[in-house]
Amino acid sequence: MTLLVGEILARATRGRPLLKDDLVRLLEISDETEYQALFQAAYEVKREHVGPVVYFRGLIEISNICQKDCLYCGIRKSNQKVPRFRLSVDDIVEAARWAHTNRYGSLVLQGGEIQDDKHTQFITETLQQLHAATGGELAVTLSLGEQSRDVLRRWHQAGAHRYLLRLETSRQDLYRQYHPEDHLWAPRLQCLEDLRTEGYQVGTGVMIGLPGQTCEDLADDLLYIRDLDVDMIGMGPFIPHGDTPLAHHLPTYDKAAHLNLGLKMLACARLVLPDANMAATTALQALSDTGREMGLIAGANIVMPNVTDPKHRRAYQLYDGKPSLDENSEQSRLGLEKRISSIGESIGYGLWGNSPRFDKRVS
């Protein structure tokens, strides 16, 4: 029996759980009317659960030095072509001050994965100085890869509130295919559990449209993320980077198809976890100028404008075609403001913007 999109969406908007077959059907949509119906339903659920408010997270790309060698990522250890950099504590504090002055309620510090004492200490000191400089008024998210429970505890004590760590895929054989042998899936999952135990607001997600990944896999990913019961979702389309092994596995890359699939995943994620925070990621913008706004209409409620000094942005390229390489933070804020008001939403200036899901969990 073919499942009817209208019936699936009616169930979802009434708060009934979706099954794997329902999600596969939604992810396989190719008809324009069905496509619009999916976004409309996701948008309705978003307005009901998180409201028409977009929260900014000022993104600071702190370093592209990485111990890992993920086959898809432009800053992988073996990529000799990329000049490596690490911001100083002062650089980071300055970017944080800018975000604070411009009433961003929250920051994300993202970078390559380094597991050593010097790095742990560097991040600890950065967190302490950043809070001292901004009166402790900013919520801080880290996205620094897998770390031991002890390190996560130290960073939490130094003022990190949230952590993003994507599982990349819930299909373990696919994970193995796109990572060197010593990069294991189970410890990554353990790290997500440790983050929760240590009191972080936890975010995860997957890459969408990896070669070999099917709509069944993506539906499994969504159900897996739902069962992990995370507070935040960060996921975006896979985009090849020319200096990585994975780029050469793909004869062609269909930008429009990846954008569409990415947007359908966001919409389905909103239906599956109505009260989580969900980012319209930069990868969407890399595929279309208005990709992030499309993400907001498909159910996302978070945007992460880059507040890193443009002179460092070029070296932090996870994939080809990274947008806004030369735009300064002020230009990017003004551009986003216009685009967000054009879709009838407002910006939650000065607010931390916890997900309602997290607030319910701790109340």
Q: Applying CB under 6 A, which residues contact ligand SAH? A: 72-73, 110, 112-113, 143-145, 165-166, 168, 207, 236, 238-239, 241, 283, 318-319
Q: How far is CA 152 from CA 119, 348, 352, in A?
A: 12, 28, 21
Q: How far is the CB of 27 from ligand SAH (least distance, A)?
A: 18
Phi, psi of 106 (to 5 degrees): -160, 155
Closer to ligand SAH by Cβ: residue 58 or 274: 58
Least Cβ distance, residue 57 to ligand SAH (angstroms): 14
Nearer to ligand SAH, 25 or 312 (CB): 312
Q: Which is nearer to ligand SAH, 159 or 236 (CB)?
A: 236
Distance between CA atoms of residues 300 and 269, nearest Å: 9
Smallest gap from Cβ 280 to ligand SAH, in A, equals 14
> 113 or 293, CB closer to ligand SAH?
113
Smallest gap from residue 343 Cβ to ligand SAH (A): 24
Question: Which one, 49 or 204, has the nearer CB to ligand SAH?
Answer: 204
User: Which residue's CB is nearer to ligand SAH, number 110 or number 285?
Assistant: 110
Nearer to ligand SAH, 22 or 168 (CB): 168
- Provide the β-strand partners of residue 236: 207
Nearer to ligand SAH, 144 or 347 (CB): 144
CB of 38 to ligand SAH, least distance (A): 23
Minimum CB distance to ligand SAH, residue 130 (Å): 18
Q: How far is the CB of 36 from ligand SAH (least distance, A)?
A: 26
